[in-house]
Amino acid sequence: MPRKFIVGGNFKLNGSQSSLQTLVEGLNQGNLDSNVEIVVSPPFVYLDQVRKAVRKDVAVAGQNCYSKASGAYTGEVAAEMLKDIGIEWVILGHSERREIFKETDDEIGLKVAHALKAGLKVMACIGEKLEEREANKTTEVVVRQLAAIAKHVSDWTNVVIAYEPVWAIGTGKVATPDQAQEVHKDIRAWLKEKVSAEVAEATRIMYGGSVNGGNAATLAKEEDIDGFLVGGASLKPEFVTICNAKARM
């Protein structure tokens, strides 16, 4: 079975009721490729607004969730709460969570396990920093991060891996298609060796890092790039162009 292309829009800490209404209207009116799975991820306080307003063939994701269902965890949001308001997906392990909020590999693994148990689909993020790439440690880093997630996953059906080189996120720098494909190929090879050939073949691996309307179609041509996790460009009309990148090949 061919892997269905997937595009996620991570709005990060951006948006208002008004601006997100405009963005959703653009998606609703857009001519989106029906062969692509599309997921958008607004800030928590706008999840319900976006879910109710966006077209039914576009899913909605939380940008994070905690590893517990309830309790004295001020400021946290549970996977069960996301499910309760009709959210299908969650992004976990994003580099900004790792870097700014000091989330560890093990914490992210536990979050992934809990989110899956709660019935959410997970975009699990991994990726290296610039100094790690320059030290030729890219594979070492992404494999370490992936292993911490994999040990908590018994069924990969609802997991998508998002490879996001940290040095390319929001910087305008983009991994070349060859660079991105090389890492995606290594991730798939690790899955084949450590999990199973079936999981390696079926699991989708997204690329994230300054994807835009100009470079998406070129990146989409690579064999092991199964989609994009888009940051800043997901807040712009060009997000529709990115969603249709596979159709423009």
Residues with active-site annotation:
94, 164
Residue 78 DSSP one-character state: B
Residue 140 backbone dihedrals phi, psi, to 5 degrees:
-60, -45
Residue 151 DSSP one-character state: T
**Residue the block writes with tokens 């890092």:** 209
Would you call 40 exposed, middle or buried from its count of C-beta atoms within 10 A (0-12, 13-18, 19+)? buried
Reduce the DSSP state of residue 34 to 3 states and report it: coil
Are 191 and 143 spatial neighbours (Cβ–Cβ below 8 Å)? no
Contacts of 160 (CB under 8 A, 6+ apart): 6, 121, 122, 123, 124, 203, 204, 205, 206, 226, 227
Residue 227 backbone dihedrals phi, psi, to 5 degrees:
155, -175
**Residue 21's closest CA among 39, 42, 3?**
42
Are 173 and 179 spatial neighbours (Cβ–Cβ below 8 Å)? no
